[in-house]
Every structure is written in structure tokens, then in C-alpha cells.
Structure 1
Amino acid sequence: MVDDIESVLAGINSELAGLHAQSKFLNEVIDRLHAENERLRNAEAQRGLQPALRELVKLADDWRSRRAALEVDGGADLVRLCDEIVEDVTLVLERQGVDEFHAEVGAEFDRHEQRSVGTRPTDTPDLDGRIAEVRRPGYRVDTKVVRFAEVVVSKFTPPPAP
């Protein structure tokens, strides 16, 4: 009789161990599916936001251009207004996960984050391939560049021989 009870208990233990392993496997599958679902939902949300984010970047660029034009004509109040609008748009972009980044004059040109919109001749060999002017900032979401910083790159041109 004791042997029968031990045999039944061993069978129950074995079945419980199998159920536990199956439960653990199913929980891992559910966790993996949940994580994948979250990634897909986030990607879909970002894809839906892309047109609006591009328009906001263009809006910031437009107001920067207006500021530059007003700076030439004078009008400190209007220049300040343009700066405030650009700052507001930049804050909206940041709240949506889009970060503005700036290239630095004199830094080495980096095609992973910058786009050359022109070249400027230089007679200094050390400046070859370095940023001569920054035209527009770049934007990124996490580590992905969504708009390259626009720069003018120095190009070494030796002086003509005498």
C-alpha cells in the first residue's frame, strides 16, 4: 500500500514538474510576443508621426531663414521672435523623441551625420575635409539620423605655381 502511494506521488510530482516546465515555456513565449508587439506598435506610431515631424523640421528651418534675413535688415524684436518660434518647435520635436544636433566648424566631415551642401576652397592642407560652415542642424531619433546636418566642407586647392 505504501509503495502504491509513493508510486502515485512520484507520478504526480513528475506531472507537476512537466506542467511547471510547460508553464515556464509558455510565459517566456508570452513575454517575447508582448515585447515584439510593443516594438511593432512603437514602429507604427513613429511611422505615423514621420510626416508631421518632417513638417516641424521644415518649419524650424523656415524660421531660421527668416531670422537670418531679418538680422541683415535690423529689427531685433523680430529676430528674437524668430528665435522663440524655432525654440518652441525644437521643444515640440524633443517631446516627440527627435533631438537636434549641430555640426562644429573645424570638425572633420562625418558622412554618417552630415551632408555636404557645398565646398569652400582653402590653401591650408590641414583644413581639407573639415567643416567650413554649418548651414542647418541635423535631427535624430535615438541613434538614427532622420535629417543630416547640412554643412559646407573645406577643400584643399594648392596655390598656382609661380
Structure 2
Amino acid sequence: MLTGIQSDLAGLHAQSKFLNEVIDRLHTENEQLRAAEARRTLQPALRELVKLADDWRSRRTSLAEAGHVDLTRLCDEIVEDVTLLLDRQGVEEFHAEVGAAFDRHEQRSVGTRPTENTDQDGRIAEARRPGYRVDGNVVRFAEVVVYKFTPPPAP
């Protein structure tokens, strides 16, 4: 009789272990679904925050050209605040480096600049806007101008 009870207990233990594994897996899947839904719900607001940062960067450039130093500083502070908000939501800002090779996985060319130097061909001439990543995935490409080799005119 004791052997039968031990056998029943072993069976109940195995069944309990299996059920706990199923519950853990379902909990993990549920958390993943909830996180994806939360990201999907936040996406429009995050896109608007990115646009807001872009708008204030543009205003800063215009104000700097007009010589308004105090207002350009204010624009920089607003961009920094928006960037911090995005960062808290898991949106990472990244910048393209002038002179680096163009990387179509993270950058989008918005123009070209002619160069007679073959070493500059395919390299970044100007970084226009930063890019953004969420969980390592690019959600907006960094916008850049890329050098394009143009041979010098024949004499």
C-alpha cells in the first residue's frame, strides 16, 4: 500500500511540475503579448515626439542663422527633453558620423554630393537627422547626404 501511495505521489509531483511549466510558459507569452500591445498603442505618440524633436531642431537652425543665441539654447533644451522622454519609453536616438561608410541598414540617403576623391565615394558627407531604434530595431533611419564619385571634367 505504501508503494502505491509513493507511486501516486510521484505521479502527482510530475503532473504538478508539468502544470507549473505550462503556467510559466503561458505567463511569459501573455507578458510578451501585453508588451507588444503596449508598444503598438504607444507608436503614434512616439512618432509625434520624434517629429516634435525634428521640428525644434529645424527651428534651432533657423534661429541660429538669424543670430538668436538665447532662443537656440531653448530649442536645444526642448530637443533634449523630448529625447529623454523617448529614451524612457525605450526609443534610442542614434547619429550618423560624417566620413563613415553609408550603411543602408541604419541610414537613408536624402541626397548626394559630388566628389572627385574616390576614397570619399559612398561615405557620409552630411548627417541631416538622427535615427531611432526600439529594442535594437531601427524605427526611423538616420537621414544623410552621401558623397558620390564624379570624375573631373576632361581638359
TM-score band, normalised by shorter chain: over 0.9
Offset at 1:27? 0.4
User: CA offset at residue 110 of structure 1?
Assistant: 0.7
Per the alignment, residue 152 of structure 1 pairs with 145
Query: What corresponds to 1:92 in structure 2?
Result: 85
- Find the counterpart in structure 1 of residue 67 from structure 2: 74
Structure 2 gap ranges (5+): none
Q: Which residue of 2 aligns with 1:5?
A: none
Cα distance in 2, alignment partners of residues 108 and 18 from structure 1: 62
Deviations 1:127-153 (A, max 9, x none): 111100000000111201111100001
What letter matches 2:85 in structure 1? V
- Structure 1: give runs of 5+ residues left out of the alignment: 1-7
1:132 aligns with one of 111, 125, 135:
125
Give the ranges of 4+ consecutive aligned residues of structure 1 lying more than 2 Å apart after TM superposition.
Answer: none
TM-score scaled by structure 2? Answer: 0.98
Once the two structures are superposed, the pairs formed by residues 5-16 of structure 1 within 5 Å of their partners are: 8-16=1-9
Q: Aligned to 2:144, what secondary structure does the other structure show?
A: strand
Secondary structure of the structure 2 residue equivalent to 1:132: strand
Separation in 2, partners of 1:138, 1:70: 23
Rounded Cα–Cα distance in structure 1 between residues aligned with 2:68 and 2:154 = 47
Task: Report which of the two structures shows the higher radius of gyration computed on alpha carbons.
Answer: 1
Q: What is the identity percentage for the equivalent residue pairs of Structure 1 and Structure 2?
A: 81
- 1:20 is aligned to 2:28: no
1:3 is matched with none
**What one-letter code is carried by the residue in structure 1 that aligns with 2:143?**
E
Q: TM-score, normalised by structure 1?
A: 0.94
Equivalent in the alignment of 1:55: 48
Per-residue CA deviations over 1:61-80 (Å, capped at 9, x if unaligned) read: 00000000011100100110
For 2:119 and 2:19, the matched residues in 1 are separated by 61
Aligned Cα root-mean-square deviation (Å): 0.7
Match of 1:101 in 2: 94
> What's the offset of the Cα at 1:160?
2.2
Match in the other structure for 1:38: 31
